[in-house]
Amino acid sequence: MFRLTPIRAAIAALVLAALAGWASFGGYLAREMVAEIAVLAILALALDLVAGFGGMVSLAHGAIMGVGAYGYALANQAGLPPWPAALVGMAAATLTGTAIGAVSARLTGVFFLMATLAFGQMIWALTFRADALGGDNGLGGIARPPLPFLDSGDPLVFALYALVLAAGCLAVCVAVLRSRFGQRFEAVHDNPDRAAALGIAPERIRAQGFAISSMIAGAAGVLAAQHMQFVSPELMVWTASGEVLVVLILGGIGSLSGAVIGAAGFVLLKYWAADWTDHWHLAIGALLIVVVLAGERGLSGLLEGRRDA
């Protein structure tokens, strides 16, 4: 069951603060990377909510995030100002997740994984084929949100704005898990038969958890669209979802702080390794296997020490 231990809170706060500091004193590239980390962290948080605490490992989260990004882009193109358009994007992602969750929630384990793979790929294929969505060229010219007294076009302002959003999503996840709903969500994962005997309907709870997670994934999509000012179907392919899963595993699944660390570590490694080798996925693959063999506690598990979570 989720416990926001002081060490977890400290780790997450420290990482976010370090990223803010880095964005402030680093150059243009640092600021772009921090924004990218924030997007990935939010998506990983969304996935951690369902996979880490509900046992629902989803390969549709990239697609759901993409729906959020496209929703924002289309609403914005239709003339809606950025903030209402962001709500449209999140609502679209939530609706998509609600639909996927409603039909997939009765499946478990690998079957659930396959179902989310199928739905995610359906969304990707539809987007890829739809001329109204720009096909595989995607959509460009997406606006960033206006901020009071600040210019969101400035990379530093945007990086900090993205970090604030990531921190906000982390707080939302903590609140969800601490709520009565969160307890039930974890209970249904822990022992569905007992939960049912207590009057808790496992499928409904799982579907609701998936919808909440999709809303957060939608927020990641909106932020991604604002950051790149461009959306393409690439966001939605299942390998994108698989990559987020890797981020989560490397960071440490089921701890929330692991999502943030994993995202930071992954993006940093990507840029750092890209400087001298084209084959950095080799290291990621090996690392993934090592972490899985070591018991899936990832970086955050390493930082927390060997205590029982």
Partner 1 sequence: MLNTLQQAALLLLISSGLSVSMGLMGFANLAHGALYMLGAYIGIAVAAKAGFWAALLAAPLAVGLLGAALYLGLLARLRGPMQQVLASFGLVFIAVEVVRILWGDVALTLDRPALLSGSAAVLGVDYPIYRLFVILLGLVVGAGLWMGVHRSTLGAMLRASVENRGMARAIGIRTEALFLATFALGAALAGLGGAVAAPLYSANPGMAISALIPALIVTVIGGMGSITGAILGALIVAGIEVFGAALWPDASAVLIYAALAATLIWRPQGLLAVKARR
Partner 2 sequence: MLELSGLSLGFGGISVIRDLSLRVAPGERLVILGPNGAGKTSLLRLIAGELRPQQGNIWLHRRDITRDTVPSRARAGIGRGFQQTSLFTGMTLRENLSLACDGDAAAMEQLAARAGLTDLDRPVAKVDYGTARRLDLALALAGNPRLLLLDEPASGIGPGGAVDLHALIAALPRDLTLVVIEHDLDLAFAIADRIAIMDRGRIVFDGAPEAARPALKATYDV
Contacts with partner 2 by CB under 8 A lie at 1, 180, 183-184, 186-187, 190-191, 193-202, 308
Q: What is the Cα–Cα distance from 249 to 295, expressed in whole angstroms?
A: 10
- Residues in the chain, total: 309
Residue 192: what are its φ and ψ, rounded to 5°?
A: -60, -35
Q: Applying CB under 8 A, does 238 fall inside the site for partner 1?
A: yes
Place of tokens 């509900």: 54
Q: Rounded to a whole number, what is the distance in angstroms from the first to the last CA of the chain?
A: 8
Torsion angle of the four alpha carbons 289, 293, 296, 298, in this order, in degrees rounded to the nearest 10? -60
Q: Applying CB under 8 A, does 196 fall inside the site for partner 1?
A: no
Task: Answer with the entry of partner 1, partner 2, none that 193 interacts with (C-beta below 5 to 8 A by kind).
Answer: partner 2
Nearer to partner 1, 121 or 213 (CB): 121
Task: Answer with the entry of partner 1, partner 2, none that 175 interacts with (C-beta below 5 to 8 A by kind).
Answer: none
**What is the three-class DSSP state of 172?**
helix
**What is the three-class DSSP state of 105?**
coil
Q: What is the Cα–Cα distance from 30 to 24, expressed in whole angstroms?
A: 9
Task: Say if strands 139-140 and 230-231 run parallel, antiparallel, or are unpaired.
Answer: antiparallel
Q: Applying CB under 8 A, does 133 fall inside the site for partner 1?
A: no
Q: Applying CB under 8 A, does 117 fall inside the site for partner 1?
A: yes
Find the shortest distance in angstroms from Cβ 112 to partner 1: 9
Based on the number of CB atoms within 10 Å of its own CB, is 202 exposed (0-12), middle (13-18) or buried (19 or more)?
Answer: buried
Task: Answer with the entry of partner 1, partner 2, none that 286 interacts with (C-beta below 5 to 8 A by kind).
Answer: partner 1
Site track 285-304 with partner 1 (rule: CB under 8 A), x = hit: xxxxx--xx--x--------
Site track 249-288 with partner 1 (rule: CB under 8 A), x = hit: x----------------------------xx-xx-xxxxx
DSSP 148: T
Task: Answer with the entry of partner 2, partner 1, none that 1 interacts with (C-beta below 5 to 8 A by kind).
Answer: partner 2
DSSP H helical segments within 191-256, as ranges?
A: 192-197, 202-228, 238-251
DSSP 279: -
Find the shortest distance in angstroms from Cβ 125 to partner 1: 4
Find the shortest distance in angstroms from Cβ 120 to partner 2: 28
- Where on the chain is the footprint of partner 1 (CB under 8 A)? 57, 103-104, 107-111, 113-115, 117-119, 121-122, 125-126, 128-129, 238-239, 242, 245-246, 249, 278-279, 281-282, 284-289, 292-293, 296
